[in-house]
Amino acid sequence: MQVVVAAAICRGGRLLVAQRAHPAEIRGLWELPGGKLEPDEQELAALGRECREELGVELEIGDRVGSDVLIKDGWILRAYAARLHSGEPKPLEHLELRWTAADELSALPWVPANAALLPDLCELLRAAA
């Protein structure tokens, strides 16, 4: 099984979401930042690396959010709660970044695998408030 990790970065009762730039079939859809593990890479190390590359930030990574989400062809998505440790997020590999409240999440067009996490993300934001 191949793993994709995603960061549910919360600040001030809002969640950081990122708008995909590519590939073309999901351009413009929203997701949590993150990405695929490299060979022999641990999940938390991969998530930290991906967020440095995509956002230019360092994270404090916490507990899992929700359960595994099947993406396709043996790939699964695992999300982790996170907080900014240093840096201010920049859209280095995305079209746009947005800090979004729980009641705004369902209005965004989501990448399908990330959409499956919406109830868990809303709960995370409510618990953090």
Domain at 33, CATH number = 3.90.79.10
The span from the CA of 83 to the CA of 105, in Å, is 18
Question: Does residue 91 have a cis peptide bond before it, meaning omega lies within 30 degrees of 0?
Answer: no
Q: Which residues, in sequence order, are CB contacts of 5 under 8 Å at separation 6+?
A: 34, 35, 37, 43, 44, 46, 47, 50, 77, 78, 79, 80
Which residue range(s) make up the domain with 24? 2-128
Instruction: Give the per-residue pLDDT at 93.
Output: 95
Strand duo 75-86 + 2-11: pairing: parallel
The tens-digit pLDDT sequence of the chain (129 residues) is: 899 999 999 999 999 999 999 999 999 999 999 999 999 999 999 999 999 999 999 999 999 999 999 998 889 999 999 999 999 999 999 999 999 999 999 999 999 999 999 999 999 998 877
Say what the pLDDT of residue 66 is: 95
Element (H, E) at 8: strand 2-11
Predicted local confidence at residue 74, as pLDDT? 86
Number of domains in the chain: 1
Q: What confidence score (pLDDT) does residue 55 get?
A: 98
Q: What is the pLDDT of residue 127?
A: 87
Q: 0.75 cut: is pTM over it? A: yes
Q: Determine the pLDDT at residue 82.
A: 97
Residue in the block written with tokens 């993300």: 121
Count of alpha carbons within 13 angstroms of residue 55, beta-carbon side: 28
Name the amino acid, one letter, at 37.
Answer: L
pLDDT score, position 73? 84
Q: How far apart are CA 38 and CA 34, in angstroms?
A: 12
| Amino acid type, 108 | L
